[in-house]
Amino acid sequence: MSALSRSNSRYRAPFDPITAVLFKIIQAITYLFVLAVLFMNPVSKQGIVNPKAEYIITVTWPDRNPNDIDTYVEDPQGNLTYFKNPAAGLIHLDRDDRGNLNDTLNINGRMVENPLNQEVTTIRAVLPGEYVVNAHYYATQDNQPVPVTIRVDKVNPTLEVIYYDTITLERKDEERTAVRFSIIGDGRVANINHVAKELVNKAFKRE
């Protein structure tokens, strides 16, 4: 053995099997921890809703209001969505709300109240042309006027509120055109107006 090899061998730490085993245990614990984090992340995201939509139309009225307001949406091809026809063309009524009806749920023997009055309609793709959004006072429990808020959001590429306003439905069976708007070829919204167009009779004539 050369002098250099002998010199280096002096400083070589002796092999310690206990240290090696402890090191392997630490490696295994680290690996299991990383796996646990990876599996935990999807669970934490279960509450995130990522709807496939280009535009979202939201119709709301006051919490705990007992009355039933319905949303009617017509697309450029004449397709019409409402509570009896929740999907037509590229439009989907994702949530139909009936006022106080079905607002109380029995969950594991405990009654839970959901006071929110809200209907949500999505437009799933960019289809150029005019869209009509009507609100209809379908049923009442107190015969009182109902303030109804209509919001239209463009979702992609970023969230943009393109319309927001509140109208008042004075009585049962009243129908009002909340908003009309046009989608042009690049997805932008134009020609926002409130020219009245009846949709409820059109819907029920098709039945």
Owning domain of residue 24: 3-44
Tell me, what CATH number does 181's domain have? 2.60.60.30
3-class SS of residue 141: coil
The reply to whether 166 and 102 lie within a common domain is yes
Residue 23 domain-assigned (yes or no) = yes
CB 129 within 8 A of CB 75: yes
The confidence score (pLDDT) of residue 92 equals 95
The reply to whether 98 and 180 lie within a common domain is yes
The reply to whether 36 and 61 lie within a common domain is no
The confidence score (pLDDT) of residue 5 equals 45
Count the helix, strand and coil residues of the chain and give each as a percent rounded to the nearest 5: 20, 40, 40
The reply to whether 40 and 59 lie within a common domain is no
Query: Which stretch of DSSP H or E encloses residue 177?
Result: strand 175-183
Residue 18 domain-assigned (yes or no) = yes
Residue 85 domain-assigned (yes or no) = yes
Buried b (16+ CB within 10 A) or exposed e, 50-80: eeebbbbbbbbbeeebbbbbbbbbbbeeeeb
CA 123 to CA 92: how far, in whole Å? 7
The confidence score (pLDDT) of residue 103 equals 52
The confidence score (pLDDT) of residue 11 equals 45
The reply to whether 90 and 26 lie within a common domain is no
The confidence score (pLDDT) of residue 35 equals 54
Number of domains in the chain: 2
Residues of the chain with confidence (pLDDT) below 70: 1-24, 27-28, 30-51, 98-115, 206-207
CA 47 to CA 127: how far, in whole Å? 30
Instruction: Output Rg (C-alpha) for the chain, integer angstroms.
Output: 30
The confidence score (pLDDT) of residue 4 equals 45
The reply to whether 166 and 94 lie within a common domain is yes
The reply to whether 66 and 164 lie within a common domain is yes
The reply to whether 111 and 15 lie within a common domain is no
Q: If you count them, how many residues does the chain have?
A: 207
The confidence score (pLDDT) of residue 171 equals 97
Residue 132 domain-assigned (yes or no) = yes
The reply to whether 17 and 105 lie within a common domain is no
Residue 7 domain-assigned (yes or no) = yes
Residue 20 domain-assigned (yes or no) = yes
pLDDT digits (tens, 9 = 90+) for 30-55: 666 655 555 554 443 443 444 578 99
- CB-neighbour burial class of residue 94 (10 A; exposed 0-12, middle 13-18, buried 19+): middle
Name 151's bridge partners: 58, 164
The reply to whether 80 and 12 lie within a common domain is no
Q: Read off the pTM.
A: 0.70
The reply to whether 195 and 95 lie within a common domain is yes
Residue 181 domain-assigned (yes or no) = yes
The reply to whether 88 and 176 lie within a common domain is yes
CA 166 to CA 137: how far, in whole Å? 14
Buried b (16+ CB within 10 A) or exposed e, 105-132: eeeeeeeeeeeebbbbbbbeebbeeebb
Residue 50 domain-assigned (yes or no) = no
